[in-house]
Structure 1
Amino acid sequence: MKRLAIFIYGLACYALFLATFLYAMAFVGNLPAAPRTIDGAPLLPLADALAIDLLLLTLFAVQHSVMARPAFKALWTRIIPVEAERSTYVLFSSLALIALFYFWQPLGGMIWEIDNRSGRLLLNAGFGFGWALVLYSTFLINHFDLFGLRQVWLQLLGRPYTALPFQTPGAYKLVRHPLYLGWFFAFWCTPQMSATHLLFALATSAYILLAIVFEERDLLRAYPQYRSYRQRVPMLLPRLRGKRKVEELEEAA
């Protein structure tokens, strides 16, 4: 009975994540499907709206980073089953995002607005590419393990969980963090960059760069081979093929 309950819990957490992920696309992209989006008419004085938005962004960043650290996981799994740890992380991340969507306050003001049809198409394509790259990257590193489904499924079958081996499939051969690169495209590619959107893009970009530092520190401890991988493969921007070929020849020499 306990195994089934943990499995159902994991499915529910994943379903909430999936709904939140889809809503996030509409929220950031100002799509009409979302009742609340990143832009809109300001409802509060600028200082109050700015303070609320920064608080919401900070709440998400703290939750997302602290709960991902191995030290926190070791303490947390004294309270909850180990098999449900990842699902619980997914649950709290989704709740933090839902709070951000609900309480987010538009600031008003426009930084840039592209009227050229080709320019708008290009930026909208970049926006779509970013979200696709994020999702694609999760499947490269095992989507179901990343969001807790593999853990709860294995415990339902009574099988022990085994950590995934270190691998660099697909886009991970070009950059170390294609998932984060996808977020950059998703947050910055917009034909209408409002002050509100700029705040969101700047804050999330700063958080991503900081998160990479902590994540790579954990990866170096978990996987000794990550050190050589980090030396060979750039962080976010792929190297030009010619430059990469020169570096390979230098290494061979």
Structure 2
Amino acid sequence: MNSTLGRTATFTFGVISYLVFLAAFSLSIAFVANLPWAPARLDGEPLLVPGWALAVDFALLVAVGLVYWASRGVTQNGRVLLVSLAVLALLVLWQPLSGEAWRLQSPALRQVLAAAFGFGGALLLYGVLLSDQLAAGGLHAAARRLFGLADEGSDEAREEWRRQRGDALSLGVLLLAWATPELSVTHLVLALLASLGVYLVRRRVLDGQPQEGAKQPEASHPRRPVLVASRKAGAPIDPVRAA
């Protein structure tokens, strides 16, 4: 859609997608922190029989994972909207479970963990915004097309943004998972799953990078074009070089 109307529609859809994302993001922070204005509590007094509550929560987590996996083929704006809607559905339908793993009483430690939790949320938001900036179908690219701005950033800068995005997302998820003075059994399980996910993603990224000091393959027969050109030109061929 190269027309002005098409670019405007794409930009508007991107704005709507990210407004829904910001709502899902802020409610998710409240959900993990068990704030009173969250649509549901991560843990607390069960509303269902524990077995049924566990089954519902597990199904919701699987559904969000399936939406995230199935949306890989759509644009960045579309993927943000689909995943955000799936997260909102999880927050509304989540069934709390009881059981406490630990509780810190020290006010100083509680303040430190609260600051770390907030920092983790900021890092996660920064990583998501970098993901949009690097995506060709995101809100950032739609805005630049709408206003006729040229693409920004060299390949080196974009590679640095990718590295920053991975670091910010990984550290943000870990801080949100573990920086809490009150950890329930449900929160502990989710924190372990989040840590496992971060480990698997980082390992895959590191395995895909070339090893430092690895010898790059050399082009085979680099002098052959010169010899062919010499034959065409009728120049004498050095038998040693030809070998």
TM-score (norm 1): 0.69
State the Cα distance separating 1:159 from its structure 2 match.
6.8
Q: Which residue of 2 aligns with 1:15?
A: 19
Structure 1 residue 133: Cα displacement: 2.1
CA–CA distance in 1 between the matches of 2:38 and 2:32? 10
Q: Secondary structure at the match of 2:34?
A: coil
C-alpha distance in 1 between matches for 2:161 and 2:10: 31
Q: Which residue of 2 aligns with 1:239?
A: none
1:167 to 159, 165, 176: 159
Shift of 1:97: 0.7
Distance 1:169 1:86 in 2: 17
1:100 to 90, 108, 111: 90
Deviation of residue 149 (structure 1)?
A: 0.9
Give the superposition deviation at 1:58: 1.7
- Shift of residue 103, structure 1, vs aligned partner: 1.0
- Taking the TM superposition and a 5 Å limit, the aligned residue runs for 1:30-49 are 30-49=34-53
Matched, 1:86 2:76: yes
CA distance in 2, matches of 1:171, 1:154: 23
Query: Counterpart in 2 of 1:28?
Result: 32
Aligned pair in 2 of structure 1 residues 55, 41: CA closer, same or farther (>3 Å)?
Answer: same
Q: Percent identity?
A: 34
Instruction: In structure 1, give the amino acid aligned to 2:86.
Output: A
The alignment's C-alpha RMSD in Å is 3.1
Compare relative contact order (CA 8 Å, sep 6+) and give the higher one, 1 or 2: 1
Give, in angstroms, the shift of residue 32 of structure 1: 2.2
Alpha-carbon spacing, 1:3–1:213, altered in 2? closer, same or farther (3 Å): same
- What TM-score do you get using the length of structure 2 for normalisation? 0.72
Distance between the aligned counterparts of 1:170 and 1:161, measured in 2?
Answer: 16
Tell me the amino acid that sits aligned with residue 204 of structure 1: A
| Cα deviation digits, residues 182-227 of structure 1 (max 9, x gap) | 111111111111122122222333333334455667xx4xxxxx43
In 1, Cα distance between equivalents of 2:18 and 2:98: 34
Question: How far apart are the structure 2 equivalents of 1:169 and 1:7?
Answer: 23
Letter in 1 for 2:171: L
- The 1:179–1:40 alpha-carbon spacing in structure 2 relative to 1, beyond 3 Å, is same
My pick for the range that moved more, 1-10 or 187-196, is: 1-10
The structural deviation recorded for 1:160 is: 8.1
Distance 1:108 1:14, change over 3 A: same
Q: SS state of the match for residue 190, structure 1?
A: coil
Describe the SS at the equivalent of 1:107.
coil
Equivalent in 62, 75, 97 of residue 58 of structure 1: 62
Asked which structure has the greater CA Rg, the reply is 2
Residue from 107, 125, 133 that aligns with 2:123: 133
Is the 8 Å Cα contact of residues 127 and 166 (structure 2) preserved in structure 1? no
Structure 2 residue matching 1:100: 3-state secondary structure: helix
**Cα distance change of structure 1 residues 211 and 52 upon mapping to structure 2, 3 Å threshold:** farther
In structure 2, C-alpha distance between the alignment counterparts of 1:160 and 1:66, rounded to whole Å: 31
Residue in structure 1 matching 2:186, options 196, 200, 203: 196
